[in-house]
Amino acid sequence: MDQDFEKTAEQAAAFQKLWVDSASKIMQAAFTISPNSPPPEIMRQIRAGIFQALANSWEEFMRSPQFLDSMKQWMENAITFRKMTTDFMARVRNEMQAPSREDIDTIMLNIRHLEKRLLDRLDELEAQMSAVKHPATGNGRARPRPKTVAPKGAAKSRRAPVQKP
């Protein structure tokens, strides 16, 4: 609880600092204008100064740990909410004897796995056929498929494996 309060206070302080900085930059921009400039031009210069100051401060803020923390929290809330609504809808649809999004996704995934297995098998058969047609290649062993021609849908996996560093 204390930690949460501290975090919120830190975020508020960062936000306050952003606006105090911006206000001081706005004032600087306003006071550097020459009094002989025509009014619309003065306004534009002040405005450009304000925008530049705001843009720099926001850029800085959006790289700060405070912003990144709140972004992460927001994302997690969005994901949780999405999961809750998906689960709820799935339950409602299943109660009504209707297919849910999850059911359709499962079917799609099964089809993808089936497609992958079929394509892999076709590749093997292609290599064997090629070995029969050209027995001289590779001393009768199946000729490997050229690396530059990959069939559509080859080696699909639901989740991309994480590479070890």
Q: Which residues bind another protein (CB under 8 A)?
A: 35, 38-40, 47, 51, 54-55, 58-59, 62-63, 68, 71-72, 75-76, 79, 82-83, 86, 101, 104-105, 108-109, 112, 147-163, 165
Nearer to another protein, 50 or 131 (CB): 50
- Token code pair at residue 8: 């919120």
Helix 2-31 vs helix 65-95: crossing angle, to nearest 10 = 120
Q: How far is the CB of 106 from another protein (least distance, A)?
A: 11
Please tell me the number of Cα atoms within 13 Å of 65 on its side-chain side: 3
Q: How far is the CB of 118 from another protein (least distance, A)?
A: 14
10 burial (CB, 10 Å; 0-12 / 13-18 / 19+) is middle
Residue with tokens 């299943």: 94
Angstrom distance (rounded) from CA 76 to CA 92: 24
Nearer to another protein, 71 or 129 (CB): 71
Nearer to another protein, 85 or 140 (CB): 85
Nearer to another protein, 32 or 56 (CB): 56
